[in-house]
């Protein structure tokens, strides 16, 4: 029953997906460790770049979006609203996160590694603030992949409906810093925003990370990777996407790897469990030890029903940054991990009445002189700066 309660929080539509601009047509195999050959073959998709900039409300570099849409009153309003909202969260949240990370995450900044972000949804925005130098970002959630629509085939009215859907889907991120799951069920439908890809590309461009290309891939059982052809889409078990991007002004090519899959210990609505997903486990185990980040993760890794993904994070993680919704405090062996606490621990919000981390609460109270403050709001307690918490676990 507890497993079902947890998964009710994560209910999504399991629909098929459209192909997106920049889909790979070349079919090659590689291992998870060997990416240099793939990176050399990545070619800038100019249409995808323009569409990503358009979604971000930023000036285009080409002419892929029709002038009648660009010059429409709705688009001008959309650009102004995006500029205003991102300016606000830059001042009130993102810049403060970066300042904190500059002081508290020097090792993660200086020793670049893969970032592993389970239960991420499309939230590359906040991961970038804490981990700006990650070599790649491996994100896993239940949200559908979707695609960016072809704006060349839209009229102004259709573009208006779509941009309104995108803007509405971002309201909780602007106000609360996270996507509310039950709203994403609606917002990421094909008839609205259509999956995580549009939002990820929007966030990349808004954080000055030009989008280069998107590739559809598939995992073999041994964890090796096969490219899907142009007429294939990520819709089967262990299909995934790679979004390649750069940092503005830097030539280095980086990527997001996003899997839409079940991380629970039990099968869920036709999706195999993480315990039984040997292909994904082989792929992840082939990665070098990585950093782990968890935010607004519904306390799932505090449960026995998500023991496999929790144990995997503890095994492979060089450090773990999370709020109290991630891995339960009791699972960090103090002989293995050094714990640093920030902010204030507060009882979880009313949506999670079955959770209270007594050991974490005790740690905050017993070691209060060493608990450092937080200057920004992030997560479920978004309305009260005095109830914010973060913890950083560093492997000894």
Q: What is the pLDDT of residues 146-190, one digit of tens each?
A: 999 999 999 999 999 899 999 998 988 887 765 544 444 344 444
Task: Return the pLDDT at 178.
Answer: 57
Position 8 scores a pLDDT of 41
Q: Where are the domains of the chain?
A: 2-15+36-395
290 has a pLDDT exceeding 50: yes
Task: Write out pLDDT tens, residues 299-320.
Answer: 999 999 999 999 999 999 999 9
Give the pLDDT score at 349.
86
Kindly indicate the confidence band of residue 369, based on its pLDDT and cuts at 50, 70 and 90.
confident
Rounded mean pLDDT of 229-247?
Answer: 88
SS (H, E, C) the chain: CHHHHHHHCCCCCCCCCCCCCCCCCCCCEECCCCCHHHHHHCCCCHHHHHHHHHHHCCCCCCCCCCHHHHCCHHHHHHHHHHHHHHHHHHHHHHHHHHHHHHHHCHHHHHCCCCEEEECCCCCHHHHHHHCCCCCEEEEEECCCCCCCCCHHHCCHHHHHHHHHHHHHHCHHHHHHCCCCHHHHHHHCCCCCCCCCHHHHHHHHHHCCCCEEEEEEEEECCCCCEEECCCCCCCCCCCEEEEEEEECCCCCCEEEEEEEECCCCCCCECCECCCCCCHHHHHHHHHCCCEEEEECCCCCHHHCHHHHHHHHHHHHHEEEEEECCCCCCHHHCCCCCEEEEEEECCCCCCCCCCCCCCHHHHHHHHHCHHHCECCCCCCCCCCCCHHHCEEEEEEEC
pLDDT-derived band at 5 (thresholds 50, 70, 90) equals very low
Percent with pLDDT over 70 in the chain: 86
pLDDT, greater one: 307 or 12: 307
> What pLDDT, on the 0 to 100 scale, is given for residue 131?
98
């Amino acid at each position: 029953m507890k497993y079902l309660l947890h998964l009710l929080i994560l209910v999504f539509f399991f629909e098929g997906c459209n192909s997106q601009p920049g889909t790979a047509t070349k079919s090659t195999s590689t291992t998870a460790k060997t990416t240099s050959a793939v990176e050399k073959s990545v070619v800038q998709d100019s249409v995808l770049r323009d569409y990503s900039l358009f979604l971000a409300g930023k000036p285009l570099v080409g002419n892929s979006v029709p002038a009648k849409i660009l010059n429409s009153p709705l688009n001008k309003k959309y650009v102004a609203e995006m500029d205003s909202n991102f300016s606000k969260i830059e001042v009130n949240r993102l810049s403060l996160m970066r300042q904190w990370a500059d002081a508290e995450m020097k090792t993660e900044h200086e020793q670049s590694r893969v970032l592993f972000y389970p239960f991420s949804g499309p939230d590359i925005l906040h991961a970038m603030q804490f981990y700006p130098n990650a070599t790649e970002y491996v994100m896993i959630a239940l949200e559908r992949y979707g695609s960016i629509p072809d704006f060349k085939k839209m009229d102004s009215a259709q573009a208006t409906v779509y941009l309104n859907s995108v803007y509405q889907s971002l309201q909780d991120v602007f106000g609360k810093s996270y996507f509310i799951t039950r709203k994403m069920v609606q917002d990421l439908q094909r008839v609205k925003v259509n999956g995580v890809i549009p939002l990820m590309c929007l966030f990349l461009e808004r954080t000055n990370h030009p989008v280069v290309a998107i590739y559809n891939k598939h995992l073999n059982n041994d964890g090796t990777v096969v490219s899907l052809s142009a007429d294939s889409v990520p819709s089967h078990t262990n299909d995934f996407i790679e979004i390649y991007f750069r940092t503005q002004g830097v030539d280095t090519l980086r990527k997001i790897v996003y899997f839409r899959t079940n991380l629970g210990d039990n099968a869920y609505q036709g999706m195999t469990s993480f315990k039984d997903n040997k292909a994904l486990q082989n792929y992840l185990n082939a990665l070098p030890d990585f950093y782990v980040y968890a935010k607004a993760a519904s306390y799932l890794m505090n449960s026995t029903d998500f023991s496999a993904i929790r144990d995997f994070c503890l095994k492979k993680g060089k450090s773990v940054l999370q709020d109290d919704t991630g891995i339960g405090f009791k699972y960090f062996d103090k002989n293995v991990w050094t714990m640093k606490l920030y902010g204030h621990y507060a009882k979880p919000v009313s949506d999670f009445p079955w959770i209270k981390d007594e050991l974490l609460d005790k740690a905050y109270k017993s070691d209060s002189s060493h608990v450092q403050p937080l200057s920004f709001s992030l997560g479920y307690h978004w309305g009260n700066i005095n109830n914010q918490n973060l913890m950083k676990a560093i492997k000894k």
